[in-house]
Structure 1
Amino acid sequence: MELFPFQIGAATEIADKYATYAQDPLMKTRTCMVPFYQNLSSITGSGKTLILADAIAQIRSHLPTEPIVLWLSKGKVVVWQTYTNLSAGKYSELVSGFTVKPLMECGHSDIESPTSGLILVATVGKFNQRDKEEGGRKIYQLALDLSDMSLWEMLKQRRDSAGRRRPFIVVYDEGHNLSNQQTELLLELEPDALIAASATMRIPEALSSTISRLRQDKKWNDHHFVTAVKSSNVVQSGLVKQHILLGGYVTPMEIAIDEMLDSMHRTEASAAHLGLPFQPKAIYVSNTNMVSGKGNVDIVHTPFKNRQARPILIWRHLVESHKIDPAKIAVYCNLKFDPKFPPPPGFNLFAGGDSDYDKFIAGDFQHIIFNLTLQEGWDDPACYFAYIDKDMGSKEQVTQIVGRVLRQPQALHYSDPNLNTAHFYIRTDEKSVFEEVLHEVRSKIAAEAPEINLTVFTGNKGTASRLEVPPKKVRQLPEVSIDSHYAITPIKKIISAIHDYKNNTVETVGKGGRIQILQTIGVQGKEHEEWVEVEHSNRVTARWVFTREIQKTYAKAVNLCDIEETKFDALVEYNSPAAEHIKEAARKVVAAYIEHSSVIQNFVNPIEVPALPVDPAKVTNFNFALHESYSDLNGLEKEFANAIDKTQRVWFRNTSRGLFEIPLLTSGGTKNFNPDFVVWMDKAIIAIDTKGDHLIVGDAGRKLFFINKTGNGADLIIRLVTRGTWNDHIEKTDAVGFTVWGLRQGKPHPLHADSVNDAVEMCLRPQA
């Protein structure tokens, strides 16, 4: 499983904070510690589950005994998906040092086993205070065939076969749902750590004394309690869509849906043109058994064609007006029918909630009609469109639906901006209702992901199509990629030099800080508990150490490594000399990959510049641009755009993500470079970026200036522009004018320009 650097960074921050705390924890009593608390704050689509999985794997590598992790979620579907992903699915290799089981399948032998970590997955519904008092939950009952104590008591004691108390970590995948009662119960188990994941930190009252002690005695501030993932890193990674299009319709339902389907057809065509392995999907959110706008319950004792429930009206409009195959439509809500008046054949109703979920997923439907009871576990990145019927008094919160459409398929921003956009079509009774929705969404985006662009329009028939500007001519761009075949040999040489530590009992031992563990000492009847200092930590595979170190900086480099070599099966302590040797080799692999790879371009599969989205309220018109207008240009970009337009060359303003991207050969940081402008010359294509300071100062710029060409086609020439005057040593000497950067004798070379027009003229020269 490939992790992004920001995901490893967040997981490492959590693990390091825990390791530091575990060496000197606060104590409630002599044998019970004040639990470590951490909230992972990250937007929807950032891979919170993956980050949490990597965090507990890293925590295990710091610990001297095998931990037990209780992994909780609110919904059954989320829990089942988590169990599948951790036990045998896409996250299983991250937690290879753990045995993963449903909580209720845990037995005494699992608790006692000293050979691996243990992850127990459950819903919070497996226990609550009332059921505990009434004896209604199995977790509190004696498991007579397994032990003389309940599972609850076994978790509280959690002794391995050597009498050592195992570290106990509670992970809550949706921290905002953690109630006060649930927290009180979890604290009864005396956990060593509580780790929650939520976009906003909301601490239950039951944790107030824990938080107060950590603030007072450890001098913790908010930073110590929260590991925050920058939304800009998530957007740059391609995990979420880059743009949100939000339309408000004070019109009949049919007009809004017609507009959405028109946009959906264009996006489907784009996906098919690019050969993508998915079809864009749409969701339709409404009240279930109510008559829209009237507040009356729909009459079920009537033929299907006379029903007024909104899901039925939506379904009929899709099937009857748009001829959509009913087999592609799912109705996932508790829609009621009288047995005497059933729905027509092919009406796919999933009214059973959790019990219907697997059958619903197996259908791979393209149009899904639902209300907010659709489980939190349903997050399909192919979902691009949402129609939301927002009646007066409706409880449907649009902000709760945004996350459903925000994930990006394949974690890639595509050349067609439509495929990087989440589309929302909201029908309301009054304009003021849409304004309230807009305020909610703007506040959410501003707080959680300001890097996502938001375009708003008030819709009528034909409005959505006017939000795109088609190109006036056909223009193509080269495909730009990385050629790494020259890096294969040096990387093989580095890997061959890695020692085989399978039979090494000296260098595989760590020299880390000591952590105390509670151990039962003595013979039966005379046992007592003592704190014992342990210096060593749980072992991990050399493969785990090696791949994670590469993924911290440049994950693609691992694709050239034969990580199936048996030497990578060796078990080492994370802070051992062996682990450091392996990490150093991984860093050398990344350096070799960057040094011996190059950026290349070709026209074998050229990119045809498509229609581009615009915000009608922020457009600027141009005479010679490929599109008649662009929007959201900042001051400097507008200056450059006007200066380029004066040259009467064909040009266009590139998008900030997707469309024309150039991969960067630099460790860490942004993986792609999107030049601001592209200009077609007679025999060359000039890509200009007006904010090139970070590329000039870093190493990435050196490989950008000479892009190898394979096959026929125009040369691609990069020009970076920086404000002020710079010298050959890449030092800024004053703030006057601009500096245009090109390549001279293999090195970046600065040319000073007094004005924007001069800078553009220099950019368009064949040789800078």
Structure 2
Amino acid sequence: MADQDFRLFAFQEEAADKLRAAALNWVGHSVTHGVPRYGSQPIPFIGQLRAVTGSGKTPMLADAVAGLGDAVVIWTSKSAAVVEQTYKNLRGRYRSLLPANDVRIMRDIPSQADWQHFLTAPTGITIWVLTTAAWNELEAANAGGDANARLSLHRPQPDWSGTTSPWELMRTQLKRPLWIVSDESHNQSSTQLEILANLQPMGFFLASATPVQNELFEKWREALTSDPNWDSLMEAGTVPVRTRDVVSEELLKTTIELFDNNSGFEEDLDSVLGTMAQLDEALLADHASVTPKAIYVVEKSNPPRGSSEEARPVVIWNYLRSKGVDADQIAIYTNTRDVPEDAEKISSLGQLQDRHRHIIFNQALQEGWDDPEAYVAYFDGRTNSFVRIRQIIGRILRQPNARTFESERLNTATVYINTPTENFEQVLADLKKELRLYAPENEPSAIPIRVKTKKNPLPGINPKPDLNDLTLPRWSLKAPNMTGAQQKLRSRGASPWAREFLDHTGIGQMSVLSLAAEEVIKSSPIDVLRSARTRNGIFLRRRLLARNRACLNAIHPDAIVGPSYEQESCQSSLCQEELENLISEIAASFEDRVEYQLDPDPDRITWSIGEHRPRNSDLLDFTNATHAQYSAADFNPDELLFARTLDSTGEGIWMRNPASVELGYGIPLPIKVGDSSKFYPDFIWWRDGTTWAIDTTGSHLMNDKIRGKLIGLEQPKIALVVRGKWDIARGTKIDTNGWTSVIARTALTPVVNHAEDLPSILTSFTP
């Protein structure tokens, strides 16, 4: 059954919209300028959704695919577990993201009727979820008796496809455009992706936590860079999701403990059980209904042939039992031949039960198993591969109930590895690099998830004593009267559009091209643009979300109702152009009139200082800061210079403000700046009865609408300090030397100061 209540988070909606729009813009440009080519080969659209494990790549891809119109989709992954879970979710939890009607989702060997529909149906969406072994001859040979190996699409399948191979039929006889979705595409080899390219799909959607490297794809990219339009369309196809946004929605745990244990097998497992006991204690204190789980990763399911050793899964099972763990709490998910009589051995993800708190496995759970209650991972034996470690960490990184708990232990994933000393630092560096990939551009060193190690446990640093009076009010946006905007929306919803306004502009004239040579290549893009439609109400809501989330939240849902919002329109249609104009008008009116108010929630009206959570072991000492030390990783060069200068004044007390929903002080923005809807000032300075919120980046205050509202706050006073001399009115730098400060004045224009050094700049900060 579909989950009718399932909704994407805002960052997921925006990513899916960007990906789908990039694909359709590519197709539209192909219609008007011809399909791009590499030699004689047509170049398909290449979309890359780059997002950390746990961000929800599958629902984002499903939402993107849903807007492609009539289509055949091959949704593939190397992992059978990923495929099994994807098939289940597309038919169940994520089904509401796909069109309500004319959708088929296939798995394994199809019936003759399903195959004929897949091949010949002119309309609707059909998604065939397959492992790579189904269409890759080499993998099929290695898969033995696996069902996907028997499926091999390169061989005739008389029972359902006749005497011609399904692969050849797909290549030549599909009536609908073909799209490829490659989940966990970092696991797919260049050869595999090139095999799929031989089907001449309309485009690829590659989902991965890391960039996908492929020689053929790189050649396609090089061929397109000479044309600025194609180059821009190609770049738009790469859609990164910021890890910070995923963490902000509380989808991921906020801390990873990485312990390198060399003390011996029994001591290591004792540490795992100790961590599980700590989790149980924290659950009682937090009154949380979560069942923490531990996973145990073995490299081999059975001992070498002729050996008298016990299989490692059995050794682990016996030790857990000796420590009092009930047998029904342990699952062995390996192909181990001989297991104890009362051991429970499972053969699929579907057999895992809530009571299984200790799960022993080798490859099966490497990807595709999504259980946020998994907290602890133990690697049995030596582990040198960061790729392997990263994949397992992904299984324990999701956060239960999508909310941060009061106890830090319940927000922490713990990993026990055994790796050579010389490799541990590299593993640690690789992990931090992975978590840092999707940081904001102005925070290239930021790691949104804290990494702790046994060698460097990185305890939190509490504020200095007697700082309880250093608080700040929490602000929220007070929406203006939206009656006029809602009347316009209702009026627009009451009048349906004529058909010509809903269709893509000029599509009728472009269809003449389908009579030219290379008919399939020419007509397919047109077919896509004709059928790729979005319900107008969804289009309006999502475009307004991307423009201004606060504005959308201020509009009653009943305002976006009416027959015209139930209609579906093509991208670039006159209907969507008119809706874009309406969105701009409503958002601009909101941004001009929105005001700040104290947070109406009495439990949130006051913000107070929390602990500092170091990002690395390189700690810097400060005399006049709220915390005695800060991590060096929390500063870029200009920020560190400012911190040292601020500390040296000896006046008041200051803190480095983390850009963290959990710990930092943030002020909502009336309009989005880049990808940010909240302003986290770099520094907070309590001095002579006045509190200053000081930012050393400046991008938030270069926009007139933000500068006019944000810096008008009484508490704290907002100020900008930025390197160089700036013309604030024009937002341009006029000299690279010196410094500029912009200081708020209530109901007056801000004071702009220029000075040659930072100490001189700080003298302008007066009550």
In the superposition, the TM-score normalised over structure 1's length comes to: 0.75
* C-alpha distance in 1 between matches for 2:701 and 2:407: 26
Matched AA of 1:137: L
The aligned counterpart of 2:743 is 741
Paired amino acid for 1:631: S
Give the letter aligned to residue 104 of structure 2: V
Offset, 1:173: 1.9
CA 290–452 in structure 1, closer or farther in 2 if over 3 Å, else same: farther
What whole-Å deviation, never above 9, does each CA across 1:122-152 have from its counterpart, x for those lacking one? 33334454879x99539643457x9998865
Tell me whether 1:311 sits opposite 2:316 in the alignment.
yes
- Is the CA contact 1:399–1:441 (under 8 Å) kept in the aligned structure 2? yes
Q: Does 1:137 align with 2:151?
A: yes
Report Cα offsets for 1:173-210 as digits up to 9, x if no partner.
233344577557646655343443342333377x89x9
**Is it true that 1:704 corresponds to 2:701 in the alignment?**
no
Q: What is the rounded CA distance, in whole Å, between the counterparts of 2:241 and 2:190 in structure 1?
A: 33
Say yes or no: does 1:543 pair with 2:537. Answer: yes
1:118 is paired with a residue of what secondary structure? strand
CA contact (8 A) 1:40 1:227 kept: no
Match of 1:53 in 2: 62
Query: For the structure 1 residues 83 and 241, does the alpha-carbon distance in structure 2 shift closer, same or farther, using more than 3 Å as the test?
Result: same
Match of 2:3 in 1: none
Aligned counterpart in structure 1 of residue 124 of structure 2, from 85, 104, 116: 116
1:218-237 pair list within 5 angstroms: 229=238, 233-236=242-245
| Code of the aligned partner of 1:191 | P
1:191 equivalent to 2:201? Answer yes
SS at match of 2:741: strand
Sort the Cα spacing of 1:678 and 1:247 in 2 relative to 1 into closer, same or farther, 3 A: farther
Question: Structure 1 residues 719, 394: CA separation in 2 closer, same or farther (over 3 Å shift)?
Answer: closer
Matched residue, 2:597: 600
Who is 2:720 aligned against?
720
1:250 aligns with 2:252: no
Kindly report which structure 2 residues correspond to 1:601-750, keeping only aligned pairs within 5 A, or say none. Answer: 601-602=598-599, 604-605=603-604, 606-614=606-614, 617-632=617-632, 633-645=635-647, 646-647=649-650, 649-658=652-661, 659-660=663-664, 661-667=666-672, 669-680=675-686, 685-697=691-703, 699-707=705-713, 715-726=715-726, 729=729, 732-734=733-735, 735-750=737-752
In 1: Cα distance, 2:571 partner to 2:434 partner: 40
Give 2:566's match in structure 1, choosing from 526, 544, 569. Answer: 569
Aligned to 1:498: 492
1:383-394 correspondence runs (5 A): 386-391=377-382
Q: Provide the rounded CA distance (Å) in 1 between the counterparts of 2:743 and 2:630.
A: 26
Task: Tell me by how many angstroms 1:366 deviates.
Answer: 6.3
What is aligned with 2:42? 34
Could you tell me which residue of structure 2 aligns to residue 467 of structure 1? 459
Question: Tell me, what secondary structure is at the counterpart of 2:709?
Answer: helix
CA RMSD for the aligned pairs? 5.0
Which has the larger displacement, 624-633 or 186-195? 186-195
Task: State whether residues 388 and 425 of structure 1, in contact with CA within 8 Å, keep that contact through their aligned partners in structure 2.
Answer: yes
Residue segments in structure 2 that go unaligned for 5+ positions in a row: 1-7
Partner of 2:547: helix, strand, or coil? Answer: coil
Secondary structure of the corresponding residue to residue 482 of structure 1? strand
Distance 1:149 1:120 in 2: 19
Deviations 1:42-84 (A, max 9, x none): 2433544345434434543xxxxx2222222223332243334
1:588 equivalent in structure 2: 585
1:168 CA displacement:
1.8
* Paired residues of 1:686 and 1:717 also in contact (CA < 8 A): yes
- What is the SS of the residue equivalent to 2:670? coil
SS in 2 for 1:678: strand
Q: 1:316 to 1:189 in 2, by over 3 A?
A: same
1:431 aligns with 2:421: yes
Secondary structure at 1:101 match in 2: strand
Deviations 1:83-116 (A, max 9, x none): 3444443463355576131152524345544443
Equivalent runs, 1:330-409 vs 2, <5 Å: 332-334=333-335, 337-339=338-340, 341-343=341-343, 349=344, 351-352=346-347, 355=348, 357-360=349-352, 362-363=353-354, 369-380=360-371, 386-391=377-382, 397-406=388-397
The CA deviation at 1:570 is 1.3
Please give the alpha-carbon distance, in whole angstroms, between the structure 1 residues aligned to 2:221 and 2:683.
53
- Residues 494/211 of structure 1: CA separation in 2 closer, same or farther (3 Å cut): same
In structure 1, C-alpha distance between the alignment counterparts of 2:118 and 2:412, rounded to whole Å: 47
Counterpart for residue 303 of structure 1: none
Q: Which of 73, 77, 83 is equivalent to 1:79?
A: 83
Q: Is the 8 A contact 1:518 1:530 kept in 2?
A: no
Structure-2 separation of matches of 1:250 and 1:26: 56
**1:467-510 Cα shifts (integer Å, max 9, x gaps):** 32223336375573534553542431231231545462342233
Deviation at 1:415, TM superposition (A): 9.7
Q: Is the 8 A contact 1:279 1:382 kept in 2?
A: yes
Quick one: distance in 1 between partners of 2:642 and 2:76?
Answer: 53
CA distance in 1, matches of 2:405, 2:26: 37
What is the DSSP-based 3-state SS (H/G/I as helix, E as strand, rest coil) of the residue aligned with 1:196?
A: strand
The answer as to whether partners of 1:511 and 1:575 remain within 8 angstroms in 2 is: yes
Match of 1:511 in 2: 505
Tell me how far apart the structure 2 counterparts of residues 438 and 240 of structure 1 sit (CA, whole Å): 19
Structure 1 partner of 2:310: 299
Distance 1:38 1:530 in 2: 17
Counterpart of 1:510, as a letter, is H
Secondary structure at the aligned position of 1:672 is classed as strand
Instruction: Report if aligned partners of 1:288, 1:334 keep a CA contact under 8 Å in 2.
Output: no
Is 1:579 paired with 2:576? Answer: yes
Following the alignment from structure 2 to structure 1, what is the Cα–Cα distance between the partners of residues 253 and 729?
A: 39
In the TM superposition, residue 316 of structure 1 has moved relative to its aligned partner by 5.4
- Encode CA deviations 1:418-442: one digit per residue, 9 max, x unaligned: 88876544334x4224245345546
The verdict on how the C-alpha distance between 1:397 and 1:572 changes in structure 2, with shifts beyond 3 A counting, is closer
User: 2:171 matched to 1:171?
Assistant: no
> C-alpha separation between the residues in 2 aligned to 1:589 and 1:388?
55
1:554 match = 548
1:274-293 equivalences in 2 (<5 Å) = 283-287=295-299
The verdict on how the C-alpha distance between 1:26 and 1:677 changes in structure 2, with shifts beyond 3 A counting, is closer
Does 1:200 find its partner at 2:211?
Answer: yes
Corresponding residue for 1:524? none
Q: Distance in 1 between matches of 2:749 and 2:273?
A: 51
Counterpart position of 1:525: none
Check the 8 A contact 1:172/1:196 in 2, yes or no.
yes
Distance 1:332 1:222, change over 3 A: farther
Q: What secondary structure does 2:627 align onto?
A: coil
Quick one: structure 1 residues 395 and 299, their matched pair in 2 at CA, closer, same or farther if it must change by over 3 Å?
A: farther
CA contact (8 A) 2:683 2:693 kept: yes
Relative distance call for 1:121 and 1:593 in structure 2 (3 A) is farther
Distance in 1, Cα, partners of 2:697 & 2:373: 33
- Mark the CA change 1:373 to 1:704 in structure 2 (over 3 Å): closer, same or farther: same
Shift of 1:569: 0.8
Task: Look up the equivalent residue of 2:206 and give its one-letter code.
Answer: A
Q: In 1, Cα distance between the equivalents of 2:133 and 2:320?
A: 34
Cα shift readout 1:246-290 (whole Å, capped 9, x = no counterpart): 443433456667777888888999999999886776544444658
